[in-house]
A and B are shown apart, each in its own frame.
Chain A
Amino acid sequence: MTLVPVTYKGGIYQHDIIIDLIEDLGGYIVQKHIIAAEVVLQCFVPKDDIEQIRRIAKPLFGEVTDSPLVGTEIAIVSMSLEIHHLPHPSCDIAEYVRRIGAKSNMVSLARGPGKRIAGLNDEERDVINEHDIAVYLLGNFETCIEYKIPTLRRGIEVPIILCGGPDEATLRRITNPPVEGYVGNVGRFMRRTKESDQLEKLDEIVAEITRVVEKKRDDIAKDPLSVSPARLMDLIREKVPDINEVTSPTPLTVQMRGLRVKLPYDRYAAPLRAIEIEDGITIGDISEVVPSRMRDYILVKILPFSETNTVI
């Protein structure tokens, strides 16, 4: 059974029918937002059953759309928290990828700006590495990007998408070895993205992110994970009731290869490892439960089949 990421949008009336349906079909709901009288569900559903969900949602005026970024956590790496980069373009881009299902976090560097003085410290590096992909938002000058990108990517193991002022061909020329994705002509600007050409640029960034995410999904499919992160999320929600007391918007953040549990590591790591998934196999058996560099959260890294020899 292949699960595909989709977004369901519909009225609040009888939306529990859809939630029950998705769960009965073996799908998982990653995020649920209720905005006024509208419900947005970001979920994984079995590929063959999408038509059935559409059919049942039709009398409720519900819409099912593909959203390939559901279940990913993306780092939007901004060079600083100064007025120079915020709210445009950093927040505009972070917000735009959020609309199509990704969980985006803004990572702002302590010493990101400048040419010679730009740097990346170990905490920033580790935080970026905890995400699925990193989108680097750089400035307008080719010379500066060429000079600082080797420093900024040192130690980064996740795919990088580079956005900068010069055009795409120039960005490709000045990065060696190449990064996974490029979007040109989007450097520093100080106006809100609302014109159609600016929105097209945002769509281009989203298309590039989607391409890199799909590539990463294909890589994971070659050596599948021992358990689906969405399934683990459901299980933790059921077995650790304290997660419902957490006030973060996404107490359990699903990633492509694991999930972030927003509970203190010291108290919850041991009980989390001991949770049984099926047939005596515990979470600790098929994953690494490690402290996250983000606050005192827990990071669950699910091991692939080749290491555990189990798929459940």
Chain B
Amino acid sequence: MAALEYFEVECPEPLGAEYYRQITNDVLLDHNLLKVIEKLHIYIDPKVPLFVAVGTLRKITTIVRVRDFANVNPLEGKITLVISNETYLAPMLKLFWERFGKEHVEQPDRFTVMLYDVRTAPAEIEDLVVADPSESLFKDLIYAFRCIAPEGFRLRSEKFSKEKFSFVASENTLSEDIDSLVATKFALIGVKP
């Protein structure tokens, strides 16, 4: 959990808190979200029952460009791209098809893409933006917290902004003073409402 500046799980049952610490760690690690979250405080009260997660987010500007995962080699009227990471291969091909047309793009094997008769400069191809992971960030975060929260807690209230987020879940109707509870948990990580 080195990537998080602050990480606490608060629960009246110490053993339960320990298990949820482990679950949170595993889920965030699996979803590659440790880099995104700066501080995280989780409060669980199985008696109510209630699950609250509050935290702050880091600023991320990780736009993925072609040069991040491919080598662009121009050679005798064609451009060969050697792919090192397949994750963004599909969106890249889609982009090429739209821009250059399918007849100019060929993929002889998994790790090679060839462009024929393309007038664009290789440096310009390297700079093409393929994906922006921050677009789906909130979706990923909400999904991850749904995995972390106990499953029966289906009544949720989520507030996500660019800097901070709160996620509240319970199986009963959330009480009206829930915002003040969230505010006290935010205070613990040094965030003023």
**B169 CB to nearest A CB, Å:** 11
Whether A140 lies near B20 (C-beta < 8 A) is: yes
Q: Which of A118, A143, A191 contacts B46 (CB 8 A)?
A: A143
Contact (A140, B152) CB under 8 Å given A189-B23, A191-B26: no
Let me know if B116 is at the binding interface, CB within 8 A. no
Interface membership of chain B positions 136-179, coded 1 if the CB is closer than 8 angstroms to chain A and 0 otherwise: 00000000000100111110000000000000000110000000
Query: Whole-angstrom distance between the alpha carbons of A165 and B16 in the complex?
Result: 7
With a cutoff of 8 Å between Cβ atoms, the chain B residues found around residue A114 in the complex are 150-154, 171
CB within 8 Å of B: which A69-112 residues = 79-80, 82-85
Query: Whole-angstrom distance between the alpha carbons of A116 and B50 in the complex?
Result: 12
Question: Number of contacting residues on A, CB 8 A?
Answer: 26
Question: Number of contacting residues on B, CB 8 A?
Answer: 22
**B4 CB to nearest A CB, Å:** 17
Query: Whole-angstrom distance between the alpha carbons of A139 and B44 in the complex?
Result: 14
With a cutoff of 8 Å between Cβ atoms, the chain A residues found around residue B22 in the complex are 189, 191
Whether B16 lies near A141 (C-beta < 8 A) is: yes
Q: Which of A82, A118, A166, A190 contacts B30 (CB 8 A)?
A: A190
With a cutoff of 8 Å between Cβ atoms, the chain A residues found around residue B172 in the complex are 116
With a cutoff of 8 Å between Cβ atoms, the chain A residues found around residue B30 in the complex are 190
Let me know if A187 is at the binding interface, CB within 8 A. yes
With a cutoff of 8 Å between Cβ atoms, the chain B residues found around residue A141 in the complex are 13, 16, 44, 46, 150
Whether A190 lies near B26 (C-beta < 8 A) is: yes
Whether B152 lies near A143 (C-beta < 8 A) is: no
Let me know if B97 is at the binding interface, CB within 8 A. no
Query: Whole-angstrom distance between the alpha carbons of A118 and B13 in the complex?
Result: 21
Q: For residue B49, which residue of chain A has the nearest CB?
A: A115
Q: How many A-B residue pairs have CB under 8 A?
A: 69
Let me know if A144 is at the binding interface, CB within 8 A. yes
With a cutoff of 8 Å between Cβ atoms, the chain B residues found around residue A165 in the complex are 15-16, 19
Let me know if A27 is at the binding interface, CB within 8 A. no
Whether B46 lies near A188 (C-beta < 8 A) is: no
Whether B19 lies near A167 (C-beta < 8 A) is: no
**B146 CB to nearest A CB, Å:** 9
**B45 CB to nearest A CB, Å:** 9
Let me know if B119 is at the binding interface, CB within 8 A. no
Interface of B toward A, CB cutoff 8 Å:
13, 15-16, 19-20, 22-23, 26-27, 30, 44, 46-47, 49, 147, 150-154, 171-172
Given contacts A113-B151, A114-B152, A114-B153, 6 further A-B contacts (CB under 8 A): A140-B15, A142-B13, A142-B46, A167-B15, A189-B23, A190-B30
List 11 contacting pairs A-B, 8 Å CB cutoff, sorted by A.
Answer: A85-B151, A113-B151, A114-B171, A116-B171, A117-B152, A141-B16, A141-B150, A143-B46, A165-B15, A165-B16, A190-B147
